Every structure is written in C-alpha cells, then in structure tokens.
C-alpha cells in the first residue's frame, strides 16, 4: 500500500512537470495551427498511441458506466481545453492561469458534498491552498498589469470547475478496477467525439502538409504522445491511488514549472516576485500534502530501522 501511494505521488509529479512545459510546444504550433486544430490533432494522436499500446477492448458493462466515460470525455478533454483557450481570447494569460489553478478548491468542495463529509479537507489543505494561490498570483502577475474581462474570467472559472468534475469522475471510474490505459483511451474517444461539433463553429483545417515542418511535427508528437497519451494515464492513476483532492494539489506546480522553463528555455528574467511566488507555491503544496508526506516518511523510517 505504501509503495502504491509513493507511485501515485510520482505519477502526479511526472504529469504536472510535463503539463507545465506544454506551453512551449503549443506556442510553436500556434504559428501555423488554431487552438482547436492543436486540440483535435493531439488527442487523436494520443488515442492512436493508447490503442497501439493496449489494443484490448474495454467492456463497460452497462450504460451508467458508459455515461461516466462520456461525462469524463466531455469535461476533462473537450470542455476544459476549449473553455481555457477561448478564455484566453478575452482575458489575460495571468488571469486565466490563476483562476484555472483554483480547480483543487472546487474538487474539494464537490468531494465534500458528494461524500457527505467523509473526504472533508483539513485545515492544512485549506491553508496550503491559500498559500499556493498567493504564490500563483505573484508568479502569474509578474511583469504584466492586471486586466479584467468578465467574459474571459467567467470562462476560466467554468474551466476550473469542469476540471474538478473530471477529476471526481475519473476517481469513480478508477474504483471499477479497470486498466488505466483502457479507461483513458475510452475517455479520449468521447472527448474527440464531443470536439467534432466545435469544428463547425471554430476555425479548423485538415491540412496536414503543415507537419512537413520538423518543429511542428516534433511539438505535436510531444503534445499527443507525452502530454496526452502518457500524462493522462499517469494523472488518472494518481487520482485512482491518491484521490482527486490530494492529486489536484499538484496542479499548483504547473505555473512554477512554467516560470523555470521560461527562464531556462525562453531566457525570460526571473524577478524577485516570481521567485517569492515559487517559494509560496511549493510551501503550500508541502503543507497541503503534509499528512501524506509525514506518513510516507514515518513508514520509510520504520522500514530502515527494521533493516538495521
């Protein structure tokens, strides 16, 4: 059980490290692709990769369970990314980034309502959330003025709520004990299915000749195989192992990783404010995960004593 929890934390950490660097690939692809094109191409590629790795067919058994997959695909794959991308056209990246990072709070609140108090978050989680949000604000607002647009901010709030719902749905799906790759592939299928109608309203072209550019092809492969196929599997495994509330806390690390990558890859200046925000975000993460970390530390210490 202890080893499984450790793997759950490593899976969550691996996922957010990759998700925190996807902005580089997306920025390159936006030179030739629209947001919807990137979204559809990357998830189709991810679906094909998962089908190749595990071609078995998943039998849900009844329409109620199939409905959970459809809801997960609609929320976590289709609506979340569309809402986030559209929000960026109305509001600043700083605003959207901060608001979307509030998804752990919504996950905790939804989990509290659905579990009738069984998964009630403790004071450490709530205080850690406040610290992390303060850090995210410092990071996100670095070097830019705060500009508000009600449409964009409301869409970002909806995106945060949608991702929280997705995490709770994947927890329920994970409780059935099915193969994580198969369940992720089924979620991708429904997500892609729900994306198709959006192509009738948003700019979309099937011109694959643009992938003759090596940089575009590499970035799309990274997004499809890494950020989608692999990371959704590891994220769903983390939720299945740790639960949605604890796993969602790792989302706080995404803006931290973004700041680090901006400095190392894009050569952007790391200011005192962004450094302080990084420290606050990490402190909030540790505080929110304190009980789990303390348990793991105690168990490992006990194991070492036994070995001696």
Query: What pLDDT sits at residue 71?
Result: 94
Sign of the C-alpha dihedral computed for residues 77, 150, 86 and 196 taken in this order: positive
| pLDDT value at 308 more than 90 | no
DSSP state of 199: G
- Summarised one tens digit per residue, pLDDT across range 219-237 is 889 888 888 888 888 887 8
What burial class does residue 113 get, using C-beta atoms within 10 Å of its C-beta: 0-12 exposed, 13-18 middle, 19+ buried? exposed
Nearest of 47, 38, 56 to residue 190 by alpha carbon: 47
Strand, helix or coil for residue 149: coil
Q: Is the pLDDT of residue 99 over 60?
A: yes
- For 201-208, what is the mean pLDDT? 83
The pLDDT of residue 182 is above 80? yes
Tokens representing residue 298 in the block: 């105690």
* Interval 35-42 mean pLDDT: 86
Quote the percentage of the chain above a pLDDT of 70.
Answer: 78
pTM metric for this prediction: 0.73
Contacts of 138 (CB under 8 A, 6+ apart): 273, 274, 276, 277, 280
pLDDT tens-digit map of 118-161: 656 677 777 887 887 787 777 666 554 444 456 777 788 888 88
Greater model confidence, 307 or 291:
291
pLDDT value of position 306: 40
For residue 190, is pLDDT > 90?
A: yes
Start-end of H helices in 123-271: 123-140, 150-174, 180-195, 214-221, 231-242, 244-248, 253-264
- Of 145-154, 191-200, 201-210, 294-303, highest mean pLDDT: 191-200
What is d(CA 20, CA 272) in angstroms, rounded to the nearest whole number? 21
Question: Measured between alpha carbons, how far is 282 from 130 in angstroms, rounded to an integer?
Answer: 12
């Amino acid at each position: 059980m202890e080893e499984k929890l450790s793997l759950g934390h490593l899976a969550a950490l691996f996922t957010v490290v990759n998700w925190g660097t996807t902005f580089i690939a997306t920025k390159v692809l936006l030179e030739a692709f629209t947001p919807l094109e990137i979204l559809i191409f990357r998830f189709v590629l991810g679906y094909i990769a998962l089908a190749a790795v595990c071609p078995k067919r998943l039998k849900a058994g009844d329409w109620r369970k199939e409905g959970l997959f459809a809801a997960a695909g609609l929320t976590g794959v289709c609506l979340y990314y569309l809402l986030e991308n559209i929000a960026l056209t109305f509001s600043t990246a700083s605003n959207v980034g901060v608001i979307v990072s509030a998804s752990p709070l919504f996950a905790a609140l939804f989990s509290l309502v659905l579990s009738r108090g069984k998964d009630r978050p403790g004071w450490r989680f709530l205080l850690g959330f406040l610290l992390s949000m303060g850090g995210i604000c410092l990071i996100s607002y670095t070097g830019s003025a705060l500009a508000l647009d009600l449409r964009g901010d409301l869409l970002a709030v909806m995106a945060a709520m949608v991702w929280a719902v997705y995490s709770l749905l994947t927890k329920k799906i994970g409780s059935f004990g099915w193969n994580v790759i198969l369940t992720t592939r089924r979620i991708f299928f429904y997500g892609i299915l729900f994306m198709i109608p959006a192509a009738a309203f948003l700019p979309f072209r099937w011109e694959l000749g643009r992938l003759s550019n090596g940089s575009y092809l590499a970035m799309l492969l990274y997004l499809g195989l890494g950020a989608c196929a692999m990371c959704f599997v590891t994220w769903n495994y983390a939720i299945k192992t740790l639960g949605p509330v604890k796993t969602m806390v790792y989302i706080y690390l995404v803006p931290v990783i973004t700041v680090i990558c901006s400095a190392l890859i894009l050569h952007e200046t790391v200011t005192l404010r962004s450094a302080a925000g990084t420290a606050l975000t990490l402190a909030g993460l540790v505080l929110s995960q304190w009980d789990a970390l303390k348990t793991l530390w105690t168990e490992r210490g006990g194991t070492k004593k036994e070995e001696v």
